[in-house]
């Protein structure tokens, strides 16, 4: 078995393990499955996007995740968490999806990246990794960040964060629905 298929098999086993442990965000699973069916691509750690409360620390990189949702919570859930964490240094964020996809050639990486751009992905990149493989990172643009002590209208913050999460999930769906186009490009 050549090294690409050995690598892909190992990555898929890790994904299967994470799925069994329910460590994979449900909204992104259909897209991961479709990408992983393509011979020349395999997904690694990815996130469907999230709404999160974090505690900022004085040193960069030392923030602490307090609560994270990879779905849209009810307003009551959101409000309860907001009220609980309403103190200095706590921020609320909405972050878009992050897809990490590995491929076995630079040409495949470019092909996937260009395809993703046609589906509306605005941020991402290609990085060489070992053994002739390349990592493609695709990043959703649904983003929002604010200190919760600055929030005046909680309902408006919730409505805007829901809007951004819905936009994020729509972008994931567009990628999922269009993946067959990528497969046809390789023929």
pLDDT tens by residue, 67-98: 999 999 999 999 999 988 887 788 999 999 99
How would CATH label the architecture of 3-180? Answer: 2-Layer Sandwich (3.30)
* Tens of pLDDT, residues 125-180: 999 998 889 999 999 999 999 998 888 889 999 999 999 999 999 999 999 988 87
186: confidence class by pLDDT, cuts 50, 70, 90: low
- Which tokens belong to 137? 């990172």
pLDDT higher at 88 or 22: 22
- Give the dihedral sign, CA 172/176/181/185: positive
User: Using 50, 70 and 90 to split pLDDT, how confident is the model at 18?
Assistant: very high
Please give the structure tokens belonging to residue 138.
């695709």
pLDDT attached to residue 60: 67
Q: Which of 38-47, 54-63, 68-77, 169-178 has the lowest mean pLDDT?
A: 54-63
The pLDDT, as a whole number, for residue 56 is 77
Task: Using alpha carbons only, give the angle 169, 25, 44 rounded to the nearest 5 degrees.
Answer: 100
15: three-class secondary structure by DSSP: helix
Question: Could you tell me where the DSSP H helices lie in the chain?
Answer: 3-20, 29-36, 75-85, 106-118, 154-185
Q: How far is CA 62 from CA 1, 54, 55, 73, 95, in A?
A: 42, 10, 9, 26, 18
Pull the structure tokens for residue 18.
Answer: 């994470």
Q: Which residue is it, tokens 């994020």? A: 168
> Which phi-psi region, left, alpha or beta, contains residue 57 (left: φ > 0; alpha: ψ -120 to 50)?
beta
Domain parsing of the chain, residue ranges? 3-180
The region that residue 46 occupies, defined by phi over 0 for left and psi between -120 and 50 for alpha, beta otherwise, is beta
Statement: residue 22 has pLDDT above 80: yes
Which comes out higher in pLDDT, residue 89 or 9? 9
């Amino acid at each position: 078995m050549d090294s690409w298929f050995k690598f892909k098999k190992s990555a898929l086993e890790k994904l299967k393990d994470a799925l069994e442990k329910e460590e994979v965000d449900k909204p992104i699973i259909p897209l991961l499955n479709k990408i992983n069916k393509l011979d020349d691509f395999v997904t690694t750690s990815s996130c469907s996007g999230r709404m999160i409360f974090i505690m900022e620390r004085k040193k960069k990189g030392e923030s602490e995740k307090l609560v994270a949702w990879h779905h849209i919570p009810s307003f009551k859930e959101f409000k309860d968490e907001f009220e609980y964490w309403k103190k200095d240094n706590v921020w609320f964020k909405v972050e878009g999806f992050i897809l990490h996809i590995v491929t076995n050639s630079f040409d495949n990486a470019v092909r996937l990246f260009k395809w993703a751009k046609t589906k509306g992905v605005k941020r991402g990149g290609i990085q060489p990794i070992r053994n002739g493989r390349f990592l493609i990172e695709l990043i959703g643009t649904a983003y929002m960040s604010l200190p919760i002590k600055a929030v005046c209208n909680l309902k408006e913050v919730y409505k805007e964060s829901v809007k951004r999460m819905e936009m994020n999930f729509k972008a994931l769906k567009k990628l999922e629905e269009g993946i067959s186009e990528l497969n046809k490009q390789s023929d």
